[in-house]
Amino acid sequence: MKTMTVSRAAAICGGRLTQYSDAPIGRAIIDSRQVQPGDMFVAYRGENVDGHRFIAKALEAGAACCLAEYLPEDVSGPVILADDVQAALEKICAEYRRGLSIPVIGITGSVGKTTAKEMISSVLEQRMNVLKTEGNLNNQIGVPMTVSRIEREHEAAVIEMGISGFGEMTALARIAQPTVAVFTVIGHAHLEFLHDLEGVFRAKTEMLAFMPEDGTVIYNGDDAMLCKLACPQKLVSYGLGEDCAVKAADIEQLTDGRIRCRISYNGRSIKAEIPAYGQHMVYAALEGAAVGFVMGLSDEEIERGIAAYKTVGRRGVVTDTGFVTLVDDCYNANPDSMRCAVDSLMKLPGRHVCVLSDMREMGEGSAQMHRELGEYALNKGVDLVMAYGPMSKYLTEAMGSRAVYFETKAALVAALPEYIKKGDSVLVKASLGMHLEPAADAIKAMTGEK
Residue intervals in the chain for CATH 3.40.1190.10: 100-307
Does residue 197 surpass a pLDDT of 90? Answer: no
Mean pLDDT of 19-44: 96
- CATH superfamily label, 6-83: MurE/MurF, N-terminal domain (3.40.1390.10)
Mean pLDDT of 198-225: 94
Residue intervals in the chain for CATH 3.90.190.20: 317-445
Model-level pTM?
Answer: 0.81
- The percent of residues in the chain predicted with pLDDT above 70, rounded, is 97
Q: Which of 217, 160, 171, 169 is nearest to 193 (CA)?
A: 169
250 phi and psi angles, rounded to 5 deg: 50, 50
Decide if 36 contacts 22 (C-beta within 8 A).
no
* Topology (CATH level 3) of domain 317-445: Protein-Tyrosine Phosphatase; Chain A (3.90.190)
Mean pLDDT of 432-450: 86
Q: What's the pLDDT score for residue 164?
A: 78
* Topology (CATH level 3) of domain 100-307: UDP-N-acetylmuramoyl-L-alanine:D-glutamate ligase (3.40.1190)
Q: What mean pLDDT is reported for the chain?
A: 92
Chain mean position to CA 344: 20
Does residue 276 surpass a pLDDT of 90? Answer: no
Q: What's the pLDDT score for residue 30?
A: 96
Instruction: List pLDDT tens digits, range 215-224.
Output: 999 999 999 9
Which residues share a beta bridge with 318?
A: 327
Least confident of 1-10, 75-84, 195-204, 405-414: 195-204
Residue intervals in the chain for CATH 3.40.1390.10: 6-83
Instruction: List pLDDT tens digits, range 313-363.
Output: 777 788 889 999 999 988 778 888 899 889 889 988 899 999 999 998 777
Cα-trace Rg, the chain: 23
CA distance 182 to 39: 30
Q: What's the pLDDT score for residue 192?
A: 62
Total Cβ atoms within 10 A of residue 44: 16
Band of residue 277 on the pLDDT scale cut at 50, 70, 90 = confident
Q: What's the pLDDT score for residue 332?
A: 79
Does residue 84 surpass a pLDDT of 70? Answer: yes
Instruction: List pLDDT tens digits, range 231-267.
Output: 999 999 999 999 999 999 999 988 777 899 999 999 9
Instruction: List pLDDT tens digits, range 124-134.
Output: 999 999 999 99
